[in-house]
Structure 1
Amino acid sequence: MAEGSPGSLLRVEGITRHYGGVRALEDVQFACRAGSIHALLGENGAGKSTFIKILSGVVQPDRGRIYLGGAEVSFATPKAAADAGISCIFQELSLLPDLTVADNICIADRPRRFGMIDRAAERRRAEAMLALIGGEDIHPAAPLGSLPLSRQQMVEIAKALARRPRVLILDEATSALTAADVGKVFTLLKRLRTEGLAIIYISHRMHEIAELADECTVFRNGRYVETFAAGTRSDDAIVEMMIGREYSSAFPPLGPTKRDGKPALAVRGLSWTSELKDVSLDVQAGEVVGLGGLDGQGQRQFLLALFGVLIGVGGEIELDGKPVKIASPRRAKSPEFGLALIPEDRKNEGLMLPMTVRENLSFAALDAVSHFGRIDHKAEAQLIDAVVRQLAIKSDGLDGPVAALSGGNQQKVVIGKWLMTKPRIVLLNDPTRGIDVGTKQEIYQLLRRLAEQGTAILFYSTDYDELIGCCNRVAVFYDGTITRVLQGTDLTEHNLIGAALNLTSAANSLH
């Protein structure tokens, strides 16, 4: 049984939810106390997302009971859950990009005067909530869609807190945040805990769980596994509970890199507006080169520039020693150039959610399976089947909507559709954000196999452990340019952090 039921603010018993013949949750129990942070752990597909959707009124359970403050409750709508005091910050943002920041924060309860929306009061409330979370740099009148993903995530948090919840649920809420914003959110959550909130915290980052959680509950394959006090289980033991098997080392061993030939990709003096300044870097075939540094220092723009997304890029790009002009993504992915870009935001930039798994997988490779404007469906099916097996994509069929897949399997589809183009150079923009530990390990193994086959890989990650474990070298960005390149024994977390802050001690560590 889930511990902590006596005195729990929120308690569930026997929650079950099926989607057709697919079991999302089966007889799940859970309990959390006021004034505590309760971590909910499990792989993608373990049932966490369905569970919090039930708690927040997005979907209803087939059976089971929910108790809030000792009284049995049920929520037919998200508004009913919010009115009862349950606010959820979903990993995929629930914001309206065409409205302002203030509109989004106050949308559930907009202040009114004489029957009209009181814009001045709305702005004051938004400013107060942004100040509460440490987002004073976000202007309440700014269009939400004009903000980068990390600032939109801060707005999502402010929006949830504006409802004055008793129970706050965070689903990978820090995955898109900068390191500085993560620190602000952690400080806020610790203060809210002292003020008596019950906080349910979902994260695949074990160091976050170690810092924040009072209790932990593990789900696996839609079932409750165990609840325990934070700090009483090792990380390996927790991961084994999550995946149901013995946990092996996360990172496969690095292979040797040959640096005696022409690089697969060479960049000289790449510049774009004020965000990229004289960037130079080369990547050999079979090499994994990481892009490090604090978030927002030009790493994403660098990948977009290489893939032909940005207009007005200066500098030189060479592929296999030959100068090229990459004027568009279509040119970048052509067999002549052979680039692939795995984007940061899989929902909005990587997938067409209403379309099927099959359609999403084949989209990038349609040119390769088409003749005179007609798709060769037999060739298409063979490519799709091969990549589904290669990535172990789990779905109830390739003709269902990709939106129905778990986050980890959606990311596999994004990667798989680009592997179908048979790229020679792969650009990855924080590809494991919000992905469970088991799927992360599969992606690490995939990167190693691609490198062994001669693929050149540029890998941006906000996770220092990934950069150290996956990369032969790491180029650290600061203020739009590369200031350090770390490799071998110099590639350590201490040196990565120092270089990210542009400290002179980090430079000295290279000599």
Structure 2
Amino acid sequence: MADLEIKGLSKQFGGIKALSDVNFSANSGEVHALLGENGAGKSTLIKCLGACQSYDTGEIFLEGKKMTAVHPKEAMDAGIGIVFQELSLIPNISVAENLFLGIDVKNRFSISRKKIINEKTKQILKEFEIEDIHPETKVGELTLSEKQMIEIVKVVSRNTKVVVLDEATSALTTNRVEWLLKLVRKLKEEKRIIIFISHRMGEIREFCSVVTVFRNGENVGTYDLDKVENDELITTMLGRKVTGYYPEKVNTKQNRVALEVKNLSFENYLENINFQLSYGEVVGIGGLAGQGQNSLLLALSGCVKAQKGEILLDGKPVKLGNPKQAMDHGIVLVPEERATEGLVLELSIADNLLLPCLSKITRAGFIDRQKEKKLLDHAVESLSIKVGDIQNPVKSLSGGNQQKVVLAKLMMLEPKVLLLYDFTRGVDVGTKNVMFELVRDLAAQGNCILFYSTDIEELVNVCDRVLVMDGGKIRASIAWEKLTQENILRSSVGENVQ
């Protein structure tokens, strides 16, 4: 028997089979990848393993002992640690308080709990080579990448036997992905079982030695990564061949400027930003993480107010004092954190989709149910959202399907300018292909898109040109023939691209 053995696991939600008689095994000192489309059953399997979700039939064994945990704390005590795709940290308490939440701290000398956990957190952060985060800093003040690191440390520092990393790299900057890779190697040496979930094939090959592929709630194959090609894995995952992962780039740029930004400045994050965005154009935002990309999109969507500068739409100055004003002008944003900024998790899928466009389906205070159904059916079909029952809470969806809901609800507004912040984060290969096609189709229809991604390959293959940011300024604009990964990286570190 393997060190971790899952036998015959099944789980059904209403009429939807999330897991169907699934078998899975992994051993100590092994980094085992899980690969599959959004909604393939990966998250449900992990939730069952961590006792966050009950299962209908099946058994789980860890080191030969049958697990009987019915609560996440019991699973954690048994040695199961899960870093979920959606962060579980509490934003208005400190890093130290988050790390020691629910843990009794022994205190023999009447020293305050706060002082003890701050000192212990300082030691933990040093052990994990995190020197730029203070124990007393409130989690809400951290960047998304820093929050992800704390989430990882919270799980790993509890000496769990099994460490599950669910899309743990998707929120990390490039240098912090290297930090995680180093940590995973250490965990492997410690003979822990590491389960690694990602949609990035390069990372799977760098981190893992074995991969199990899920499709429609079933385990459809386990492979040694040094004996299988990416094309075979993707075909197994999707049940079909994907041709043309990136759509063909056709110049659809019109001679009409949709959005113009003049001398835009915001606190210490943006300094004299100037650029134009034409109808039919897809423009990327590149550069190393934390160089003002998020602040730029927030300013353009009315989420923050710039202290200086001007924003023009169709040649006319517009005031974007809040997101509602931006949406009224046809500017919408797919935000950085879908769970806290893009969705109301407790509401249904239907309610989340309809929130921005209630005026389209109401008349004299009454909802037109036919229009409502038509809008919802179109939204679900256009992005192939796996919903089961559309009245289920949106939090019941996988991370990738949640991201589809965010995008679909904004598309129902028929925007002129679409702002995308790393919108393929946590999305499977097949869905990325659909989303890239959608972006190019929208451009062909005359829309304009401003698109930030942490994946330089996406910028190169989807965008017409890329604005490279550094220190809150636009340092370069790279287009067409010169638009390569190498040139974006060179511009990011201050080199001139000829």
TM bin (shorter chain) = over 0.9
Please state how far the C-alpha of 1:117 moved relative to its aligned partner. Answer: 5.9
Q: Distance in 2 between matches of 1:52 and 1:255?
A: 41
Match of 2:179 among 180, 184, 188: 184
Which residue of structure 2 lines up, in the alignment, with residue 448 of structure 1? 440
* Correspondence 1:235 to 2:230: yes
Match of 2:471 among 476, 479, 496: 479
Please state how far the C-alpha of 1:462 moved relative to its aligned partner. Answer: 0.4
Amino acid at match of 1:480: G
Q: Distance in 1 between matches of 2:112 and 2:44?
A: 35
Which residue of structure 2 lines up, in the alignment, with residue 13 of structure 1? 7
Please state how far the C-alpha of 1:57 moved relative to its aligned partner. Answer: 1.4
CA deviation map 1:151-186 (0-9, x unaligned): 111110111012111111100011111111111111
* Identity rate, percent: 42
- TM-score under structure 1 normalisation? 0.94
CA deviation map 1:211-240 (0-9, x unaligned): 110111111111011111122111111111
Match of 2:457 among 444, 465, 471: 465
* Correspondence 1:132 to 2:127: yes
Instruction: Kindly indicate whether the alpha-carbon contact (under 8 Å) linking 1:332 and 1:339 is maintained by their aligned counterparts in 2.
Output: yes
- Residues 190 and 370 of structure 1: is their aligned pair in 2 closer, same or farther, counting only changes over 3 Å? same
Q: Distance in 2 between matches of 1:351 and 1:198?
A: 33
Q: Secondary structure at the match of 2:265?
A: strand
- Residues 72 and 400 of structure 1: is their aligned pair in 2 closer, same or farther, counting only changes over 3 Å? closer
Q: Secondary structure at the match of 2:147?
A: helix
Q: What is the aligned residue count? A: 497
- Residues 478 and 223 of structure 1: is their aligned pair in 2 closer, same or farther, counting only changes over 3 Å? same
Please state how far the C-alpha of 1:370 moved relative to its aligned partner. Answer: 3.5
Gaps spanning 5+ residues in structure 2: where?
Answer: none
* Correspondence 1:429 to 2:421: yes
* Correspondence 1:152 to 2:144: no
Amino acid at match of 1:68: L
* Correspondence 1:220 to 2:215: yes
Matches within 5 A, 1:56-205: 56-114=50-108, 118-205=113-200
Q: Secondary structure at the match of 1:266?
A: strand
- TM-score under structure 2 normalisation? 0.96
Q: Distance in 2 between matches of 1:374 and 1:48?
A: 40
Which residue of structure 1 lines up, in the alignment, with residue 45 of structure 2? 51
Q: Distance in 2 between matches of 1:42 and 1:258?
A: 36
Amino acid at match of 1:290: G
Q: Distance in 2 between matches of 1:410 and 1:180?
A: 27
Which residue of structure 1 lines up, in the alignment, with residue 263 of structure 2? 269
Q: Distance in 2 between matches of 1:457 and 1:296?
A: 21
Please state how far the C-alpha of 1:10 moved relative to its aligned partner. Answer: 0.9
Q: Distance in 2 between matches of 1:133 and 1:339?
A: 41
Q: Distance in 1 between matches of 2:265 and 2:332?
A: 21
Which residue of structure 2 lines up, in the alignment, with residue 249 of structure 1? 244
Please state how far the C-alpha of 1:373 moved relative to its aligned partner. Answer: 4.6
Instruction: Provide the alpha-carbon RMSD of the alignment.
Output: 1.6
Which residue of structure 2 lines up, in the alignment, with residue 407 of structure 1? 399
Instruction: Kindly indicate whether the alpha-carbon contact (under 8 Å) linking 2:468 and 2:476 is maintained by their aligned counterparts in 1.
Output: yes
Instruction: Kindly indicate whether the alpha-carbon contact (under 8 Å) linking 1:9 and 1:32 is maintained by their aligned counterparts in 2.
Output: yes
Which residue of structure 1 lines up, in the alignment, with residue 321 of structure 2? 327
Which residue of structure 1 lines up, in the alignment, with residue 289 of structure 2? 295
CA deviation map 1:279-319 (0-9, x unaligned): 11111111100011111111111011011111243112111
Gaps spanning 5+ residues in structure 1: where?
Answer: 1-5
Instruction: Kindly indicate whether the alpha-carbon contact (under 8 Å) linking 2:125 and 2:131 is maintained by their aligned counterparts in 1.
Output: yes
Please state how far the C-alpha of 1:74 moved relative to its aligned partner. Answer: 2.3
Bigger Cα displacement from structure 2, 486-495 vs 361-370: 361-370
Match of 1:346 among 332, 338, 351: 338
Instruction: Kindly indicate whether the alpha-carbon contact (under 8 Å) linking 1:339 and 1:425 is maintained by their aligned counterparts in 2.
Output: yes
* Correspondence 1:39 to 2:21: no
Please state how far the C-alpha of 1:372 moved relative to its aligned partner. Answer: 4.7
Which residue of structure 2 lines up, in the alignment, with residue 3 of structure 1? none
Please state how far the C-alpha of 1:415 moved relative to its aligned partner. Answer: 0.9
Amino acid at match of 1:476: V
Bigger Cα displacement from structure 2, 398-407 vs 350-359: 398-407
CA deviation map 1:135-161 (0-9, x unaligned): 221110011122121111111011101
Instruction: Kindly indicate whether the alpha-carbon contact (under 8 Å) linking 1:297 and 1:480 is maintained by their aligned counterparts in 2.
Output: yes
Q: Distance in 1 between matches of 2:67 and 2:317?
A: 65
